[in-house]
Structure 1
Amino acid sequence: MQPSEIRASVRAFALDMPGAYEEFPWGESAIKVDKKAFVFLGADDARPACHVKLTDPDVHAHALSLPGAQRMGYGLGQYGWVYLPFDATHTSVGLACEWVEESYRTIAPRSLVREWERHDDAASAGGRDTFDNGYGKGRGR
């Protein structure tokens, strides 16, 4: 899958989450919930990538182990924000979506996270595919 296709899939996944909406501060895509960004996707013409907040130490370390990944600038890296370039060789849509979900769970209000869990459980019961996210099985789109 090409990096631009990975970006489009991640964007669609993020916008499917309860309360999620897109804004374009600085001309770049930011997916927000409750007025707070949980994923930055950059500009359409930029190198496809995302920025997510990963607070679980193992998930954070795994993300940073990917080629080109780095702590986000402007002091945000110290709070768990990570820059992840989309690469056809090293980036799976499933893993990128798992990281977007982790970021959403960190940022979103508890009520919306519970709503997402009910939605996610219903989708799983409906036979949605699973994928190996590197930490056991996860849910795909």
Structure 2
Amino acid sequence: MHKDLPELIAYALTLPEASEHHPWGDIAIKVGGKKTFVFMSGGRSGTGCAITAKLPESGQAVLSVHEFASPAGYGLGKSGWVYACFEEGEDAPVELLKGWIDESWRAIAPKALVKAFSAGVQPR
């Protein structure tokens, strides 16, 4: 497992109503147990760090600026999902990827939950 993957998973799980699931052997972090807001895996090698997140606000800029980013597969790229993969030994831009996780959570989470979180209200 890539050295940065556990930190990214832990960060995603700090967001309200986030939970970890394992469909297809990969990691899917869902909000409310229903809607996936980020996919993570070991990448092509199994020892890397791959992340797929929905970036409706920054996606086009991310794709034009970062060589490591590409539209997500399986048709998800058409809906604003972006994929990045870093192999073992490569440093992943952890803070940037945490920003992706935040943006994706805000895009997928129920709007009332996003509003409460943005206002600093703790969910019940």
TM-score (structure 2 length as normaliser): 0.81
Which residue in 2 is equivalent to 1:94?
Answer: 95
Q: What code does the residue aligned with 1:79 have?
A: S
Give the CA deviation at 1:8.
Answer: 1.5
Q: How does 1:75-114 map to 2 (within 5 A)?
A: 75-86=75-86, 87-88=90-91, 91-114=92-115
Q: CA RMSD in A?
A: 2.2
1:21 aligns with 2:22: no
Higher helix share: 1
Q: What code does the residue aligned with 1:112 have?
A: L
Give the CA deviation at 1:78.
Answer: 0.4
Over 3 Å counting, the alpha-carbon distance change for 1:22 and 1:116 in structure 2 is: same
Give the CA deviation at 1:61.
Answer: 2.6
Q: Gaps spanning 5+ residues in structure 2: where?
A: none
1:111-140 residue CA offsets vs partner (Å, 9 max, x unmatched) = 2213432169xxxxxxxxxxxxxxxxxxxx
Distance 2:74 2:24 in 1: 15
Over 3 Å counting, the alpha-carbon distance change for 1:68 and 1:94 in structure 2 is: closer
CA contact (8 A) 1:23 1:29 kept: yes
Q: What code does the residue aligned with 2:100 have?
A: W
Give the CA deviation at 1:36.
Answer: 0.7
Over 3 Å counting, the alpha-carbon distance change for 1:46 and 1:4 in structure 2 is: closer
Distance 1:107 1:47 in 2: 25
Count the aligned residue pairs. 114
Which residue in 1 is equivalent to 2:50?
Answer: 49
Identity of aligned residues (%): 39
Distance 2:121 2:4 in 1: 22
